[in-house]
């Protein structure tokens, strides 16, 4: 029941945000609230789908996360330049997605942890060589490896949390809720702290809006939120929850600026238009790509 109550609180907060947005549109029609309205509408879709995944049987939840990886990988590959000879290696990348999530579903952790980082890592360039196209080979194989590692391997650690042994409790789903909730909270907190107190730029050439106040304020706020909710939702003690919050705050920031650097290198602002008001799916997964694997291994090392 704890999972259902937690989701109910999230929906209540989203409903509150929807009401506030409607009041702002009604009371101040002269201002443009279109982007905010789009963002809230998209959050409804995201949270409904995410909630259904958490309360679904594991096989259905894993299918949902595999679909997210599929869309994210497809979005990534449409952004980077590719060669005609790379079609078959890309096909094998998509074939790796169901295998990766199947390994998670059957609990074969030892194979999951090496399948993409070792076997697919070595297989892809070998398959590319067969085509005989050496023009831009190194940059292309690096782009393919990076896209698969981030959108599939790193992100799939969220699904790994879901299937952790839970003794009949909803521990796995609550760990996922804790991770995703704090990752999104960290993004919002860093934005608000940076807007209100930010003066010193942290990464002016990569993300000019990132400030030292935003970074420290976001990490501190996330750590306090983890201290408050960690012992309630997860097996974490107060001290360990605080440490988890610090880890999520730091790695979430790293994920955000790294993906920002990639988008700047490509020459785009958003990774796509799939999520109105937010951009592409990669724009929503950027921080989670870094927080998920680090948090999962933190939990697995200390509690499993």
Same-domain check for residues 23 and 51: yes
Same-domain check for residues 180 and 299: yes
pLDDT in tens, 113-153: 999 999 999 999 999 998 887 888 999 999 999 999 999 99
**pTM, full prediction:** 0.92
Burial class of 193 by CB neighbour count within 10 A (0 to 12, 13 to 18, 19+): buried
Same-domain check for residues 107 and 156: yes
Query: Which pLDDT value is given to residue 109?
Result: 94
Task: Name the 3-class secondary structure at 241.
Answer: helix
Give the domain extent around 80: 57-163
- CA neighbor of 287 nearest in space, from 182, 136, 168, 199: 182
Query: Which pLDDT value is given to residue 273?
Result: 76
**pLDDT > 90? residue 275:** no
Cα(286)–Cα(113) distance, integer angstroms: 21
Same-domain check for residues 158 and 239: no
Among the three residues 145, 163, 181, which one is the final residue of a domain in this structure? Answer: 163
Same-domain check for residues 140 and 205: no
Same-domain check for residues 247 and 212: yes
Same-domain check for residues 150 and 244: no
Same-domain check for residues 183 and 238: yes
Among the three residues 96, 130, 163, which one is the final residue of a domain in this structure? Answer: 163
Q: What is the dihedral of CA 274, 3, 251, 245, to 10 degrees?
A: 150
Contacts of 239 (CB under 8 A, 6+ apart): none
Q: What is the mean pLDDT of residues 263-277?
A: 79
Among the three residues 109, 129, 163, which one is the final residue of a domain in this structure? Answer: 163
Same-domain check for residues 294 and 185: yes
Burial class of 118 by CB neighbour count within 10 A (0 to 12, 13 to 18, 19+): exposed
Of 10-14, 42-46, 165-169, give the lowest mean pLDDT range.
165-169
Instruction: Tally the domains of the chain.
Output: 3
Same-domain check for residues 186 and 301: yes
Same-domain check for residues 299 and 177: yes
**pLDDT > 60? residue 167:** no
Report the interhelical angle of 171-197 vs 212-233 (nearest 10°): 160
Same-domain check for residues 117 and 157: yes
pLDDT in tens, 222-266: 999 999 999 998 989 999 999 999 999 999 999 999 998 988 888
């Amino acid at each position: 029941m704890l999972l259902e109550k937690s989701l109910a609180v999230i929906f209540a907060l989203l409903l509150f945000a929807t009401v506030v947005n409607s009041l702002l549109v009604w009371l101040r029609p002269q201002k443009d609230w279109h982007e905010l309205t789009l963002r809230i509408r998209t959050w409804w879709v995201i949270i409904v789908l995410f909630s259904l995944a958490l309360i679904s049987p594991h096989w259905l939840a894993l299918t949902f996360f595999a679909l997210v990886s599929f869309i994210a990988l497809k979005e990534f590959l449409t952004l980077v330049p590719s060669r005609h000879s790379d079609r078959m290696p890309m096909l094998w990348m998509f074939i790796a997605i169901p295998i990766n999530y199947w390994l998670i579903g059957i609990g074969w952790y030892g194979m999951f942890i090496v399948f993409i980082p070792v076997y697919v890592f070595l297989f892809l360039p070998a398959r590319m060589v067969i085509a005989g196209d050496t023009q831009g080979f190194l940059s292309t194989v690096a782009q393919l490896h990076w896209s698969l590692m981030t959108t599939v391997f790193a992100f799939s650690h969220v699904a790994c949390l879901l299937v952790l042994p839970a003794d009949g409790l909803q521990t796995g789903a609550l760990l996922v809720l804790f991770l995703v909730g704090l990752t999104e909270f960290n993004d919002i907190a860093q934005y608000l702290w940076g807007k209100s107190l930010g003066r010193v730029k942290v990464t002016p050439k990569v993300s000019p809006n990132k400030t030292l106040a935003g970074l420290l304020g976001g990490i501190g706020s996330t750590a306090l939120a983890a201290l408050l909710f960690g012992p309630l939702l997860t097996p974490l003690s107060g001290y360990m929850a605080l440490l988890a919050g610090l880890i999520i705050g730091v790695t979430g920031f790293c994920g955000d600026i790294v993906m920002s650097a990639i988008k700047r290198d490509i020459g785009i602002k958003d990774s796509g238009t799939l999520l109105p008001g937010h951009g592409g799916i990669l724009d929503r997964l950027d921080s989670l790509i870094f927080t998920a694997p680090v948090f999962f291994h933190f939990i697995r090392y200390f509690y499993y």
